[in-house]
Structure 1
Amino acid sequence: MALVPHGGGGAGGSVSMNMPMLSPGNYTVWAIKAQAILDAHMLWEAVAPANDAAVNGKKCKTARAMILAGLPEDVLLQVVAKFTAKEVWDSLKVRFVGAERVRATRRATLRGELDRLKMEDGESMDVYAGRLAGMTARFASLGETLSDTELVKKLMDTVPDRLFPVVAGIEQFCVLEELTYDEVLGRLRAFDERVRRRGQSSGERSDDLLLYTAAQWWAREWSQGGAWDDDDDARSVATQGGGNRRGRCYKCGERGHFKRDCPELRKAPAAERALVADVDVEDNGLL
């Protein structure tokens, strides 16, 4: 649409807004945008006059023209016989929303969808809040309003386990009936973002972050073929409890046996073998 005068048409008093195009599946969103545009141009009173007040004829014609500009041809031909903005609006509402009996059935169906709605494990708070907002708008289009208390309860009952600490804190220190939906959503969003920044998007520690005991650490190093220091013998005895795993031989440098069991030692002179035996006795605390 072209520029529509607003505020008397003075300098800086014109607003450029295009009426959105209505389609079979977007009536709820279309009605919200259309109402906002008409209200911005001071024309909504022509569609919904307060206390059945008289409607200005010029405003009524302008509002009707703006509404018709957002209709596809097939719908336009069906409401062209409506001569006031209110008649056009009500006709569209009945066509896309239905009569009161149909609306009651749709409200019951929508209530079931709301009861089944829950936040997925990998879903962000912004996405889930958008789904809840869409559900609220659908209820509003059917003439029902979801209260803040109902939204707060729904939000706290359907968040995943990673957000349970903040839910428990809110229930313990706050009166739920006094909290607004936006306030609770802000607290949950802040906690969720903090958890995600710490790399724990699932709310749980991954296996790589678990702490190992000394014995588990050296067993892990051994299984992965990690390099050990020269005091492997002592570590092996300490961590494996004197088990079958062996460190590096101080005689030949090979792994799998200690110096006292080295095949090379059998070839050494008798004096050297006796010295090794004495050292083993001292190490075992027998002297």
Structure 2
Amino acid sequence: MAAPNIPDAVSDDLNYEEWAPTAKATLTEEGLWDIVENGVSPDPSKIPELSATIQAEQLSRWRDLVVKDTKAIQILQSSLTDSAFRKTISASSAKEVWDLLEKGNEEAKLRRLENKFEQLSMGERESVDSYFDRVTEIVEKLRRLKIEKSDYEVIKKVLATLSGSYDGVAPVLEELMDVHKMTFKSLVEFFHRYDSITEEDVHLMLKANRLKWEAQNKNNHNQNQEDRISTSAKWSGPKQFRRNKGVCFECGEKGHKARDCNGKNQQPAATEARKRGECVVRDRTGAVFGETMWDERGLSLRLQGSNFSYKQRYCEIMYVGKEATNKRSYVEGIETEGSVT
């Protein structure tokens, strides 16, 4: 028999979990379940290897099986909803109808579980344990259907769907722990502890965590400074290294003398920016990027404290708008290469 064109999933309006046991019981009572379970072989008279030797009795038994199969199809399809029935019309045997519905149920069940996971939300009066139990149940059912949700996916969903009474938990958790490396079990433990600590304890933990981060950041910063000084001394030589220790009284920067200071010849916009403690950025022609440059070139510039070092000063240069790549900028008269996006 030709295989039917099986659709991806049976209709959602068929409650397969209730329908299947009832249908199987009916088929068993009628003596038809073995036909559904094992199927019916093709017409032996149409198979060249069998047609020459088949006995009339054998052909008669095969025809009896076909009659039973037809009856089983009728029983199955008559118990279906209209939408599910339409999806089984192309099936040519009772076994194909059953297998189609079983496969479709698995896919429909998966789709329903995925929707339940996406729509998860903690009730305003629901306890944390109750909500976590609901989440765990859905995740376990998905896992049994070979759909794995990572701990991070589950944690992200939980933190985004907590009730209003837990609005402050996510920021605290992200401050204290690396959410990407957490397990769902550790999240549950965190909530059990969170409910038992005071607001003052939370503030103390946050403060301790920030101090730890600032200390680490300071150590990294000092190490980077030492590396840069060491590299400068290595390549510039002792004489140049000694000169770098001086401070220009024109601009307050290290690494050059007043007579060599570009600050003397800066345009007014650059001078004012320098007085405000901002980094001054020039294009390759020497023009200062300011409001006029924004208007003319369609670029906006944002300067803020960050990672790049220009004569012991730090600034981050970010161009937003017109795309340009591998442009050359001058910061406080110091030429730097940068990728501008």
Whether TM-score is above 0.5 comes out as no
Higher relative contact order (CA 8 A, sep 6+): 2
Using the size of structure 1 for normalisation, the TM-score is 0.34
Higher strand fraction (1 or 2):
2
Using the size of structure 2 for normalisation, the TM-score is 0.29
